[in-house]
Amino acid sequence: MKRRGNGSVQFCANLFQIIPRLWRYDRIRPAMRRMCTLMKPFKNSTSSPKTTSIYYPGKKINLKKDLIILQDPSNEEHNKLRDIQNFKHMSMLREEKQASLDGNVRLSVTASRIMGKMKRKREEEVEKEKKKKDMQRLREERRKEVGDIEADDTETAIPESNKMKIFTDELNGAEMTSGRTSGSLTSTAMSVSYDKDTREATKEEILRSQLDMMKKMKQKGFVRLTTSLGVIDLELHCDIAPRTCTNFIGLVEKGRYNGTLFHRSIRNFMIQGGKPAKETGSEKSLWGEPFVDEFDDRLTHKGPGILSMANSGPGTNKQQFFITYKSAPHLDRKHSVFGSVAKGMEVLQEMERTPTNGKDKPVEAIKIIEAIVFLNPVKEAEKKENIRIQNRIREKRGEKGARHDRRLGKTSAILQKTKVDKESEAKTSSSKIGRYLPQGALTNPLKQKKCNESNSSNTNTAGVQSRLPPPPKKTTFGNFSSW
């Protein structure tokens, strides 16, 4: 619609010529009048292609902001967005159709399912090879930067659980699916799937299972801090706060605390350390991200020498820690306690006596020269957890083979073994039952009755008087026929 001159009136006139052929004139006339009255304000307004606004009576209308363009043949980008062929579901349908037409072979539902599985396997193999190449490249770069010795140490520190593929039912027995079947049922964007495949366990789930194993082991960890004022031995409660202890031990093994300073000391309160220098990089936890707090009523800030994590709020634990000079009950359930000073309290007292400046920083630098792990239950827990997972994988394979044999009508070796074990248990249990009773008492009830009678006669002959009333005498009365 053009807004020049009497364009609105001409548009109404053209519309007036066409519509009466379809409807009656008396019905269209009121609508035409309303239309012409609405177009009158634009009659005298002139607009060129460069103008961005026009004037309505009492208002200024911006052509770009106030007007919504529904269709503009001259705008190619707008037309592309409106084209249905560019919609996502149409492109997915085209891809599926092209995939089904590849090779000029029309596959059945079962065959297409098998081909889809094979395609996914190929994609997974390609991803694995890509990950291996990336790991090799990173290791080579690490060797060049740090050196061959430290790079070898980092390779050995990688747990075995990260190398092998672990599923959720192998960790805790709970079978969690990948959600492809339910997703394909409710979403048209996903390809159709009929498989109930188990989901692969995440790193957090694997770590959680290892931490549970540490709790079951009930072992403590020990770390030695060699400072500029002396040696402090720390006992770590790995069975109560396993995540925090794993973080601390891992950072000590990586040498993150070597050369760091105790940068904050407050008398009758605590001393804080573990902050990395600006040259070494930013502060990070063992996993690269902050981790959650671990609170337990058995671990409180009671007494001197309590080892706890420093944070800036809930769930912000990274690398810094502090050791208390005195009880601090106001810090309970705010900071995670994970250890205590086992030896070296005199060194801690010497740290407290060290003078500080206005920012609570020691005037004489208190430095951690070296941190060494004496006892590490983390690695032992990882080994035990890996052994448990491997045994669970073997059991799962055996159960799968037994189900397959049952379908074919065969008896597997596992089922035969369990059957023999049950029979042997039944024999041993039957031999144990009734060994304190008279022989044959359970097999023949008549003999058991006689034995009871003989026992009662023996007791009567022995002259033992019973406290029960005597039994009633037998009578010859039969019925009422003699009356």
Verify whether residue 143 is a known catalytic residue.
Answer: no
Verify whether residue 222 is a known catalytic residue.
Answer: no
Verify whether residue 322 is a known catalytic residue.
Answer: yes
Instruction: Give CA–CA dist 459/209, Å, rounded.
Output: 66
Instruction: Give CA–CA dist 442/434, Å, rounded.
Output: 8
Instruction: Give CA–CA dist 215/250, Å, rounded.
Output: 17
* Residue appearing with tokens 């990948």: 178
In 364-412, the DSSP E strands lie at: 368-375
* Helix/strand/coil for 172: coil
Verify whether residue 374 is a known catalytic residue.
Answer: no
Verify whether residue 264 is a known catalytic residue.
Answer: yes
- Active-site residue among 237, 243, 256, 264? 264
- Active-site residue among 317, 322, 338, 376? 322
Instruction: Give CA–CA dist 16/37, Å, rounded.
Output: 15
- Active-site residue among 172, 219, 258, 311? 311
Verify whether residue 17 is a known catalytic residue.
Answer: no
428 burial via Cβ count (<10 Å: 0-12, 13-18, 19+) = exposed
Two structure tokens written together for 324: 């208390």
The answer to whether 20 and 28 are in contact (CB under 8 A) is yes
Verify whether residue 248 is a known catalytic residue.
Answer: no
Instruction: Give CA–CA dist 265/356, Å, rounded.
Output: 7
- Active-site residue among 180, 256, 301, 335? 335
Instruction: Give CA–CA dist 71/230, Å, rounded.
Output: 80
Q: How far is CA 66 from CA 42, 51, 53, 69, 278, in A?
A: 15, 14, 9, 10, 53
- Active-site residue among 210, 247, 272, 317? 272
- Active-site residue among 331, 388, 390, 448? 331
Q: Beta strand 306-309 with 270-273: parallel, antiparallel or unpaired?
A: unpaired
- Active-site residue among 269, 295, 390, 448? 269
Two structure tokens written together for 11: 């548009």
Catalytic residues: 264, 269, 272, 311, 322, 331, 335
